Structure 1
């Protein structure tokens, strides 16, 4: 069993195609297919089901992939660690972020980082705070920017607070509240809402504020992205609540301060163990000393 074969399996699983995997790995497809066939023969099981329309992992392939990916990642990490000893930062940097991150100008930070460390392969994935914490804990993300309730501490990772903000109401320009400088939760509870998925940290920031005030509201529209939420607001279908620092960048909506506004805290989370050279360099650029972040040893 060879490391390159594991790289091929991981690439096929990710792209869903032998052709695209070969392009990614810079090898001709026939050579890639031959190596996968050799590996399947050695393992005594087929790793992929393939026909003219699709490629997907078999049960054996799904069992094999996590360990294969760990081996590939470990090899890349070893190579990056050696390069770092002579002052060359390379490898991968995998970042997760909530869509409403405002404490850090992430594209600008990554632009500066790319200029300084051009050999690092950067990926960014947007998602919910809950999912991002789990991926940092599992090692599939190096670090993540979160938006959570005050007092929330992600478990099994190191983390630090970046900023505290309040939610504001967002309405369409033609809405009766559009010219009001401020609104209270009781008045907002009369409106139809668009919000994020029930149970998510993004939803709980507003949900808990209404519950604490003894108010019920109607959330008729559930979305996963900020732009989709803003589209419902712009078209007069609903009102929403978003972090004030983020709304400043959102066109086509009017913002109102909210009395007794829900609070939102942005946190940065990274792994409990020593970060890779690429991740360590990014954290250092943010002024973060990796070993000094708060670490909760609890799992789950």
Structure 2
């Protein structure tokens, strides 16, 4: 079994086809298909179900791909560690972030990092907190910026709290609450909500505060980004609750503080197995000591 074969399998799984995977890997399709066939023969199982219209992972393929990703990440990590031992930071820095990250100026931090370490390939993925933590756990991401309720303790990662804050309500112009500075959760519970998807960390920040107050709420519109949440609120389809620092950046909406206010912590997380040399350099640039628990 060769690393290149693993790369080909992962590429097919991620692109959904042999042609696109070959383009990504800069090889001819016949060579990629031949190597995957060799690997399937060695494993004694087919990794893909191929039809004229689609390529799908088999049960064996579903089991193989996550481990292949980990093996590829480990190989890249090994190269990076050798380079670091000679005084050079290189390899990759894969960063994840929620759309409401506010504790750091992420664009500036990434730009500064790339300027300091030009040999590092820097990438960014925007996602919800739970998927980001899972990707850090499995090694797909090196570092992630997430938002969680204060008592949450994600497993398989190390973390630092970067900021603590509250959620505030955002309402459209002309709404009955638009002229008020603050209101109660009980009053907000009478409204229709635009919120993040059920079960997500972002949703739990509000749900747990309402539950603790003995309240329930109606969510008619579920979104995955704060930008679309704001669009729906502006359209008068409901109200939303977002971090206070983010609410100030949403034009055309009025901010109303809630009492008691839902709380959140913004955190940076990295693998419990230890950060890569590039991730160490990035975290230290943020003033975070990655050596602690």
Report Cα offsets for 1:149-203 as digits up to 9, x if no partner: 2232223321111001111110012212222222222322222211122333222
Evaluate the alpha carbon distance shift between residue 216 and residue 63 of structure 1 in structure 2; reply closer, same or farther with a 3 A threshold: closer
* Unaligned 5+ runs, structure 2: none
Matches within 5 A, 1:83-94: 83-94=83-94
Evaluate the alpha carbon distance shift between residue 60 and residue 130 of structure 1 in structure 2; reply closer, same or farther with a 3 A threshold: closer
Aligned mates of 1:188, 1:68 — CA distance in 2: 48
* 1:151 and 2:151 matched: yes
Ranges of 4+ aligned residues in structure 1 off by more than 6 Å? none
* 1:178 and 2:178 matched: yes
Aligned mates of 1:10, 1:199 — CA distance in 2: 28
* 1:19 and 2:19 matched: yes
2:140 is paired with a residue whose SS is: coil
Aligned mates of 1:207, 1:66 — CA distance in 2: 32
Aligned mates of 1:265, 1:31 — CA distance in 2: 49
* 1:250 and 2:250 matched: yes
The match for 2:70 is 70
Evaluate the alpha carbon distance shift between residue 153 and residue 37 of structure 1 in structure 2; reply closer, same or farther with a 3 A threshold: closer
Contact 2:15 2:21 in 1 (8 A): yes
Using the TM superposition, give the Cα deviation of residue 254 of structure 1 relative to its aligned residue in structure 2, in angstroms: 1.4
1:290 is paired with a residue whose SS is: coil
What TM-score comes out, normalization by structure 2 length? 0.91
Aligned mates of 2:170, 2:208 — CA distance in 1: 18
Evaluate the alpha carbon distance shift between residue 83 and residue 262 of structure 1 in structure 2; reply closer, same or farther with a 3 A threshold: same
Aligned mates of 2:155, 2:69 — CA distance in 1: 24
Using the TM superposition, give the Cα deviation of residue 108 of structure 1 relative to its aligned residue in structure 2, in angstroms: 1.7
Return 175-184 or 156-165, whichever deviates more. 175-184
| RMSD of Structure 2 on Structure 1 (CA) | 2.0
Aligned mates of 1:108, 1:186 — CA distance in 2: 40
Contact 2:70 2:139 in 1 (8 A): no
Using the TM superposition, give the Cα deviation of residue 21 of structure 1 relative to its aligned residue in structure 2, in angstroms: 1.6
What TM-score comes out, normalization by structure 1 length? 0.89
Evaluate the alpha carbon distance shift between residue 212 and residue 35 of structure 1 in structure 2; reply closer, same or farther with a 3 A threshold: closer
Aligned mates of 2:42, 2:131 — CA distance in 1: 36
1:214 is paired with a residue whose SS is: coil
Report Cα offsets for 1:90-125 as digits up to 9, x if no partner: 222222222211101112211112222233233333
Aligned mates of 1:43, 1:136 — CA distance in 2: 28
Report Cα offsets for 1:60-90 as digits up to 9, x if no partner: 3233323332222221111111122223222
Using the TM superposition, give the Cα deviation of residue 234 of structure 1 relative to its aligned residue in structure 2, in angstroms: 0.3
Contact 2:172 2:234 in 1 (8 A): yes
The match for 1:100 is 100
1:252 is paired with a residue whose SS is: coil
Evaluate the alpha carbon distance shift between residue 15 and residue 167 of structure 1 in structure 2; reply closer, same or farther with a 3 A threshold: same
Aligned mates of 2:203, 2:153 — CA distance in 1: 17
* Unaligned 5+ runs, structure 1: 295-300
1:164 is paired with a residue whose SS is: strand
